[in-house]
Structure 1
Amino acid sequence: MPIYHPLEEQLIHEVTQTFKALSDPTRIKILHLLFSGEQSVTEIAEKLQMNQSTISHQLKYLKQLSLVKHRRLKTRYYYSLDDYHVMNLVEQAIEHTKHI
């Protein structure tokens, strides 16, 4: 039988924050859209038919949690998933939900 090693409180807090971020429908839509590749705020807003300020606010939140990253090109910011772990989390949740 494996030995139990409790998680550190800080790690528990950070994991909880990630799941909290994934509990919002707009953020799931944004992350799912970013599966297809890097997008500007304008492109995301157009494709999701949402207000740019709403998208910007959600992207800022996702960036703070290292779920997305951005690069700047002149006056535009382009967003993408931070790493494959983010994609994997969302994909697993989608597949689990489809399964049940």
Structure 2
Amino acid sequence: MKVNPHDLDEETLFLVSQTFKALSDPTRIRILNLLFNKEYSVNEIAETLDLRQSTVSHQLRFLKNLRLVKYRREGTSLFYSYDDEHVMNMLKQTIEHAIHS
């Protein structure tokens, strides 16, 4: 799909820039990459990536606000997974590009 640059409204421009902002942070990239294969709780993400729980929660909130991740509740635990196939494919291709270079 080709997009005419004159068709981009302010809301679309903002969302695109926020998505790239989300993908410009190494911690958020690590979290999204981890979520590519399965869902994780905040504690599991923190433990797997050796991050503080508060850091993970903060980054997940940012990603959730952009609809890049979603969660489901199981008892008192929240399990996060990715919510946007397009962004995940872009991330995967970018990682493959960086490895290939």
> Is TM > 0.5 for Structure 1 vs Structure 2?
yes
**Aligned-partner Cα distance in 1 for 2:74–2:96:** 35
How far apart are residue 13 of structure 1 and its match?
Answer: 1.0
**Aligned-partner Cα distance in 1 for 2:51–2:38:** 19
**Aligned-partner Cα distance in 1 for 2:27–2:89:** 18
**Aligned-partner Cα distance in 2 for 1:59–1:3:** 30
Residue 15 of structure 2 corresponds to 14
Q: How many residues in Structure 1 have an aligned counterpart in Structure 2?
A: 99
**Aligned-partner Cα distance in 2 for 1:21–1:83:** 13
**Aligned-partner Cα distance in 1 for 2:48–2:4:** 46
Q: Please give the TM-score of this superposition, normalised by the length of structure 2.
A: 0.90
Residue 34 of structure 1 corresponds to 35
Residue 55 of structure 2 corresponds to 54
How far apart are residue 43 of structure 1 and its match?
Answer: 0.5
Q: Alpha carbons of 1:93 and 1:75: their partners in 2 closer, same or farther (altered >3 Å)?
A: same
Aligned residue for 1:50, secondary structure, equals: coil
Identity of aligned residues (%): 58
**Aligned-partner Cα distance in 2 for 1:85–1:22:** 13
Residues 8-43 of structure 1 show CA distances to partners (whole Å, capped at 9, x for unaligned) of: 121111100000011000000000000120000010
What are structure 2's unaligned runs of at least 5 residues? Answer: none
How far apart are residue 96 of structure 1 and its match?
Answer: 2.4
* 2:97 is the counterpart of 1:99: no
Q: Please give the TM-score of this superposition, normalised by the length of structure 1.
A: 0.90
How far apart are residue 5 of structure 1 and its match?
Answer: 4.8
Superposition RMSD on alpha carbons, in Å? 1.7
